[in-house]
Amino acid sequence: MVAINKYSNVPLYCQLKNLILEKIENGDFEADQKIPSEQDFCEQYNISRPTVRQAINELTSSGQLYKMKGKGTFVSARKTQISIKDYTGFTDSILDSKDPSEKNIISTETVIGQEIPEVSEAFSLRSDGNTEFAAITYTNPVGKDMVSLSISYIPLSLFPEVIEDIQSNKDVLRGKYPLIPNSTKSTLDIVSTDAREAVYLNLQPGQPLIRIKNILYSKSCQPVEYVITKYRADKTKLQFENHK
């Protein structure tokens, strides 16, 4: 067992933090595994409870650990990495998915685009119209975790059978539609989890989410799909890479 050096210039709580992180990296503490109690750490390393509490609180605040009331402290799952360098905007697309069954479809419904401001703006809809869209809501699980929640809006005038195709797990395009996605425009911001999203993502309302909005265009620059995806900020890491 690695001991804590009480004569080191490194504070005791920092040493304990590093020991816990090392156990996580080595696989001694696995994702969603309960770690020893504060009292266990006190006895194991002969340190005070305030020292242990500070170490655990800092690891909890930084996302490496999480607490469940009445149950203890657990190891957080590794974050899903979204590489901005490789992110194309097609990742969450329904139209570009060759196997819709890979997505966890929650609901499919028909909505009026003019009644949803973001959709109306994305497709430049006239306010006096009643343009129908397929609204497809789905989650993207990674292992045991639901990392993101998406809703895709697809104009039924261009893809009249899209709902039926999704419900039967067919490749939506299958060569029968000429307006396939060719380019995208994406925006990113941070929003708070609402009550509905909290249920699907297993979060408390008000927790931060990374929201990415994608408009997908055909070769003729016609918008064909609008996707809003919200990623759990505590389980998602954005990787930026630039070259001069």
- Structure confidence by residue, pLDDT tens digits, 90-139: 777 888 877 766 788 899 999 999 999 999 999 999 988 899 999 999 98
Least confident of 83-87, 113-117, 199-203, 205-209: 83-87
Contacts 24+ apart (CB under 8 A), 187-194: 187/212, 187/213, 188/212, 188/213, 190/233, 191/230, 193/230
Q: What is the predicted pLDDT for the residue at 27?
A: 86
Give the three-class secondary structure for 163.
Answer: helix
Q: Residue 85 pLDDT > 60, yes or no? A: no
Identify the top-confidence range among 82-86, 103-107, 155-159, 163-167.
155-159
Cα–Cα distance measured from residue 10 to residue 3, given in angstroms and rounded to the nearest whole number: 13
Rg (the chain; Cα; Å): 23
Report pTM.
Answer: 0.67
Enter the CATH code of domain 12-75: 1.10.10.10
Q: What is the predicted pLDDT for the residue at 181?
A: 86
Q: What is the predicted pLDDT for the residue at 152?
A: 94
Q: Are the CB atoms for 224 and 155 separated by under 8 Å?
A: yes
Q: What is the pLDDT of residues 9-55, one digit of tens each?
A: 999 999 999 999 988 888 889 888 899 999 999 999 999 999 999 99
Which of these, 162, 166, 189, lies nearest to 176 by C-alpha position? 162
Q: What is the predicted pLDDT for the residue at 84?
A: 52
Domain boundaries defined on the chain? 12-75, 80-239
Report, as an integer, the average pLDDT of 55-80.
Answer: 81
Contacts 24+ apart (CB under 8 A), 100-104: 100/165, 100/166, 100/169, 100/170, 100/171, 100/172, 101/169, 103/138, 103/139, 103/140, 103/150, 104/138, 104/139, 104/140, 104/141, 104/146
Q: Residue 89 pLDDT > 80, yes or no? A: no
Give the three-class secondary structure for 51.
Answer: helix
Q: Residue 1 pLDDT > 60, yes or no? A: no
Q: Are the CB atoms for 216 and 184 separated by under 8 Å?
A: yes
Enter the CATH code of domain 80-239: 3.40.1410.10
